[in-house]
Amino acid sequence: MSNKKAIIVGTLAFDEIETPSGSSGKILGGAASFSSLAASCFGVDSAIISIVGKDFPDEYLDIFRKRNVNMEGVEIDKSGDTFYWKGRYHTNLNRRDTLVTELNTLANFKPIVPESFVKADVVLLGNLHPAIQHSVLDQMKTKDTTVVLDTMNYWIEGAWDDLVKVVAKTDIITINDEEALQMTTANNLLDAAKKIESMGPSYIIIKKGEHGAMLYHNNQTFLAPAALLDNVVDPTGAGDTFAGGLVGHLASSPIVDFETIKTAIVYGSSMASFCVTGFGTKSMINVDLEMASKRAKELQSLVRFEL
């Protein structure tokens, strides 16, 4: 077990998901839930920074407490309800429509980093308004923290100036393929990665869904596979789970370099492959490092060939 510390900033939420195979009802969701369930498998000293409302069940908080996740940074705002999202997936699960978004107490979210985590080794800035992501970095009392940022089209379109500021302070960015092209007006992923590199991050991870992920760093590239699955139930949270597995491995590694990040991506991909086989966080509750390592070995064998 490592003594390294990891902060996970993101939403704790209620999700309600409809897919061709059924309806989830109102369940635990949010980027921080998925990321934290994945990261906590690595035995790192982690903390969630988030906000919930008066309706958030204590049993849900216990899920994280039982995994030794520090919850001091989770504000319980009695003035309202927890962030709620409802979505419906199309037949092939590649597209979804948002049916309802209720920000509720998330509108009041002002992240506060617990004193014991202001020198954390890794911080994962989950998908949130980039100004909120930045406010976490402002509270850090060391320059050695590895900053991992996840973002999406919503902020590219609606909060560009703030996004540029937080991207400039990012070491490792994770972004979807379409969004990487949108953000850079590039025609291909290699160009997009180079353009994002010029904005600040040393390591650019472009997520390609079922096609895996690409890592770019200083003219070096790596392609990580995604597991071949025929039992996908719900893709919600796959990206957050990926980021959580990535951060969990990084926080349990003595150094952070190209080789370590390659392995971390494979662990992220491994974790995500479990996530999508059940509604919401359901599958992630039972995943452990042994299962993730076994799946990572399968991914290694999936791409191995002789010349």
What sign for the dihedral angle of Cα 202, 36, 101, 212? positive
Q: Which of 17, 147, 224, 247 binds a second copy (CB under 8 A)?
A: 224
Please tell me the distance from the alpha carbon of residue 182 to that of residue 186, in angstroms, as a whole number: 7
Taking the least distance from each CB to a second copy, the nearer of 162 and 298 is 298
By CB under 8 A, is residue 136 in contact with a second copy?
no
Under 8 Å between Cβ of 146 and 119: no
Q: Is 255 in the site for a second copy (CB under 8 A)?
A: no
Q: Which two tokens mark 191?
A: 């160009």
* Interface with a second copy (CB under 8 A), residue from 55, 102, 191, 197: 191
Length of the chain: 307
For residue 29, CA distances in Å to 121, 194, 204, 272, 284 come to 26, 33, 26, 15, 11
In the list 106, 149, 189, 213, the residue contacting a second copy (rule: CB under 8 A) is: 189
Number of residues that bind a second copy (CB under 8 A): 34
Contact call for residue 168 and a second copy (CB under 8 A): no
Note whether 90 binds a second copy by CB under 8 A.
no
**Which distant-in-sequence residues (6+ apart) come within 8 Å of 74 by Cβ?**
12, 48, 49, 50, 51, 52, 61
- Give whichever of 212 and 239 is closer to a second copy, judged by the CB atom: 212
- Binding residues for a second copy, rule: CB under 8 A, are 91-92, 187-191, 208, 211-212, 214, 221-225, 228-230, 232, 259, 262-263, 265-266, 293, 296-297, 300, 302-303, 305-307
